[in-house]
Every structure is written in C-alpha cells, then in structure tokens.
Amino acid sequence: MIQIQDLSFTYKGEKKPALQEINLSVPEGGFLGIIGPAGAGKTTLARVLTGMIPHHYPGNFYGSARVKGLDTVDTSINDLSRLVGMVFQDVESQIISPMVEDELLYGLENFGVSREEIPARIEEALQSVGISELRERSIASLSGGQRQKVAIASIIALKPRILVLDEPTGELDPRSSRQVFSLLKVLNEEQGITIVLIEQKIMLLCEFTKQLAVLSEGRIVRQGETREVLARAEELQELGVNCPRVTTLSRILSARTGEEQPVCINTEEAEAMIRRLIP
C-alpha cells in the first residue's frame, strides 16, 4: 500500500537532509507506529506520504514514494488526498471553519459527496470519535482535546484508504488517547484502512500497532514487528526513545534470573511472567 524507496529529502534552504535513505513499506491493512525524538523527521515523513512533500514544501527530493501504486511526485495533491487522509500535529492549522459541523461539511463538499449522503457521513464520523453532542458547537468553545477529535472526525468522514496521524493524542488525556487508539483499531480491522500513526505514547503504540519504525536524525534506525523492535530496548533508550516499563521489567528479570525472559508488551504478559517466576 505504501512503498518508500531510498528516499532522501532536504527542505529548500536547509543544508542537512530531514530524511535520509528511507526504505519503508506498509502492506494494505497495515498498522504502523512511528516513534522517535523531536526533530527526527516524523512529520516530514508524514508530509511525504500525503504528497505535501514535494508539492507544497519545495526541496531536494531523491528516491520514490508510492501509495497504492501511485508515485506521489507524479500524482496531484488532489488525487492523493482522496487516498490518504492526514491529521496534522498542529490541529489549529488544520481546522478552518468556525463551527464543528461546517468543518466536516467543508471536506465532504470539496470531495463532491452527494447532498443526500452528507448528513449521515457527518453523524457517523462524529459518533465514531464519540463527539456527536459537539455537532452544533463553535470551534472556539472547545477544549484542545475536543478540537483534536473534530480534526480526526473531519478526516474520517472522507473515508480515506490510508490514514496518517501525526501525534493525534498530544492534547488528549490518557482516557481519550486510549479511545482514539481503539477507534483506529476498529477502522483498521473492520474497514481495512491502512494506518500510519506517529506517536510518543509507547505503551499505546505497543498495544495497538502491528509494526513499529523508529526514526532518528532522519533515518529509520529500527523497523519490524512491534515486539521485535521493543526487544532491543537498550538500543532504543540510547536513541532517546523510552521503552514501556513492562519491557524494561522483562529485561531486568532476564538479567536477575540469568535466564532469557520473553519480551512483554502489556501488563497481562508481565503478570504471567512474574507468576511463572514466583510460584
């Protein structure tokens, strides 16, 4: 579904490439988490997937990025936007309407969705994010978390086949963050939407994603099955990526017991490991 080959990109006027020799592929129906320290190039990679790079951000672009077989350089932003929906890191810059309903309406009208279909699409999208009651509210009256949900709903309403989210839970409390992740899981599993999720909340990433890629200084330094990537916790820590405590626990217990313990990625697995060790 997504294929990036030997991609390097340097923003115009910059010396240092923001991305270097990126190779990445995400199958149809994949759920990829991307993590990495500030300035690693995560947002830049998201812009590549939506075609904003190179169409809106000029610079030196080498290699290729394809979504559903389309080369992002040769495909118009308009065509790409029907395939790839993106929720921006900076929600404020994404929302353009003063009212919640209008924000969703705007995208649907732009996409030429029929008048008859629009109300149901709006209701369905708001409901899936759990904010039906906000439909008639003004954006100005909403909290940061609510705005983030509006931004997500307005993209979901467009039914993209690929959804790219750039730190979508940054403004959300733990409960709402989990709600968003659960929603993404449903979209992924029930509608087969391919998801690329940039996120700092490692515990949620390991619970929900199938694959994980770690970005550092513009390069992908680790990628693979989420569990395999987390198994190399020490290397991640050196890169400035915190590991979940349950993963650290399996590492400590491996050292203490002198016997290799399985890598745990959630509390249930950690509990099972401890019960095995303490009869």
Ligand X SMILES: Nc1ncnc2c1ncn2[C@@H]1O[C@H](COP(=O)(O)OP(=O)(O)OP(=O)(O)O)[C@@H](O)[C@H]1O
- The binding track of 85-104 with respect to ligand X, each residue x by CB under 6 A or -, is ----x---------------
- Do the strands 70-71 and 59-67 form a parallel or antiparallel pair, or are they unpaired? antiparallel
Q: Taking CB under 5 A as the rule, does residue 43 contact Mg ion?
A: yes
Nearer to ligand X, 39 or 119 (CB): 39
Binding status of residue 18 toward ligand X by CB under 6 A:
yes
| Cβ at position 98, least distance to ligand X in Å | 27
Residues 92-131 that bind Mg ion (CB under 5 A): none
- Rule CB under 6 A: choose which of 4, 7, 42, 201 binds ligand X: 42
Examine residue 33 and tell whether it contacts ligand X (CB under 6 A): no
Among 7, 40, 104, 203, binds ligand X (CB under 6 A): 40
Q: Which does 81 bind (CB under 5 to 8 A by kind): Mg ion, ligand X, none?
A: none
Q: Which of 44, 50, 194, 250 touches ligand X (CB under 6 A)?
A: 44
- Separation of first and last alpha carbons in the chain: 47
In the beta sheet, which residues pair with residue 76?
Answer: none
With contacts defined by CB under 6 A, how many residues of the chain interact with ligand X? 13
Are the CB atoms for 270 and 249 separated by under 8 Å?
yes
182-191 LR contacts (CB < 8 Å, sep 24+): 182/208, 183/128, 183/129, 183/130, 183/152, 184/31, 184/208, 185/31, 186/128, 187/128, 187/156, 187/163, 188/29, 188/31
C-alpha to C-alpha distance for 209 and 30, rounded to whole angstroms: 9
50 near Mg ion, judged by CB under 5 A:
no
3-state SS, residue 242: coil
Q: Which residues bind ligand X (CB under 6 A)?
A: 11, 14, 18, 36, 38-44, 57, 89
Q: Which residues bind Mg ion (CB under 5 A)?
A: 42-43, 89
